[in-house]
């Protein structure tokens, strides 16, 4: 029976530490400030932004939301980002995804100043992660690394299988694991014999967005399971990519959905904002 990794409690402890850091900055007259841009009327995005706003309020980070209509042109989006880049009060800029088509999200990410790119999606921060230089690491992969370390789960020398190759989770997750000396396999929709790849893994990180993609017969005894998936079951309840009830019988550690990776992602965003405020104020 697996030990359940409590991301909710871990994130709570991290937020408490971040509040102390924010208080110290305020003693120096520095108020960390996060600007969040949301384009369109996506219900899921509204929930995510609300959660980020609450975390900012708890820690003492000033939060300002910029809501743009779905008819917004690319030029208008880039102009707003440029204004925020030049606003010295703003320490971090986050563009909530998805954004409506035909807007080009990567062009928008590219235009966010690397020093304010608290999501870690600007090419400069992507490159820094690849070559081991300091920068902003995307929040979900960073949260997973912290989670593994807090539970004293060995990464060095372990075989890690990552399901998903997105720029948000899969690719930066692979770089994070490589930096910790893991042997990494990235699996995706074109991977042949997925079961064979997973069966050999010591740690499986699933970010496929497909319910019950990872089943008990696909994993070995003692595996560590990190479930990044956010899906809905037939009853409409949140669930991950992993058949939790059956896989937990074989795993040594497993994250639940909800209450696993999600809270850590928001905690790492807050951490990146505090880091940005420190760096920008020397």
Indicate which residues carry an active-site annotation. Answer: 52, 96, 119
CB 145 within 8 A of CB 171: no
Burial class (CB in 10 A: 0-12, 13-18, 19+), 258: middle
Helix (H) or strand (E) holding 34: strand 33-39
Give CA–CA dist 182/190, Å, rounded. Answer: 23
Q: How many CB atoms lie within 10 A of CB 189?
A: 10
Q: Which residues partner with 48 through β-bridges?
A: none
Which phi and psi (to 5°) does residue 6 adopt?
-90, 85
Residue 155 makes CB contacts below 8 A (sequence gap 6+) with: 145, 148, 149, 177, 180, 181, 182, 203
Question: Quick one: 269 exposed, middle or buried, by C-beta within 10 A (0-12, 13-18, 19+)?
Answer: buried
- Smallest CA-to-CA distance from 35 within 101, 113, 102 is with 113
Both tokens of 75, joined, read: 């030029």
For the packed helices 139-150 and 170-179, what is the interaxial angle rounded to 10 degrees?
40
């Amino acid at each position: 029976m697996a030990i359940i990794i409590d991301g909710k409690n871990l994130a709570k402890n991290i937020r408490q530490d971040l509040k102390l850091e924010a208080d110290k900055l305020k003693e120096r007259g520095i108020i960390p400030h996060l600007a969040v841009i949301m384009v369109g009327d996506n219900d899921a995005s509204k929930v995510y932004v609300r959660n980020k706003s609450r975390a900012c309020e708890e820690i003492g980070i000033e939060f300002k939301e910029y809501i743009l209509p779905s008819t917004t042109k690319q030029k208008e989006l880039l102009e707003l980002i440029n204004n925020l880049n030049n606003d010295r009060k703003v320490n971090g800029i986050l563009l909530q995804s998805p954004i409506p088509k035909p807007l080009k999200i990567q062009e928008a990410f590219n235009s966010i100043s690397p020093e304010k790119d608290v999501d870690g999606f600007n090419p400069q921060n992507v490159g820094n992660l690849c070559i081991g230089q300091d920068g902003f690491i995307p929040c979900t992969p960073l949260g997973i690394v912290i989670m593994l370390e807090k539970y004293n789960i060995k990464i060095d020398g372990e075989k890690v299988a990552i399901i998903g190759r997105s720029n948000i989770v899969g690719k930066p997750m692979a770089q994070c694991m490589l930096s910790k000396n893991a042997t990494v396999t990235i699996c995706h929709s074109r991977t042949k014999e997925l079961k064979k790849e997973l069966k050999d893994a010591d740690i499986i990180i699933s970010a496929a967005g497909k319910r019950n993609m990872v089943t008990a017969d696909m994993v070995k005894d003692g595996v560590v399971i990190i479930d990044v998936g956010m899906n809905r079951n037939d009853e409409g309840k949140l669930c991950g990519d992993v058949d939790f009830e059956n896989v937990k019988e074989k795993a040594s550690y497993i994250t639940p959905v909800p209450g696993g990776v999600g809270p850590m992602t928001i905690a790492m965003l807050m951490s990146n904002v505090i880091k940005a405020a420190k760096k920008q104020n020397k």
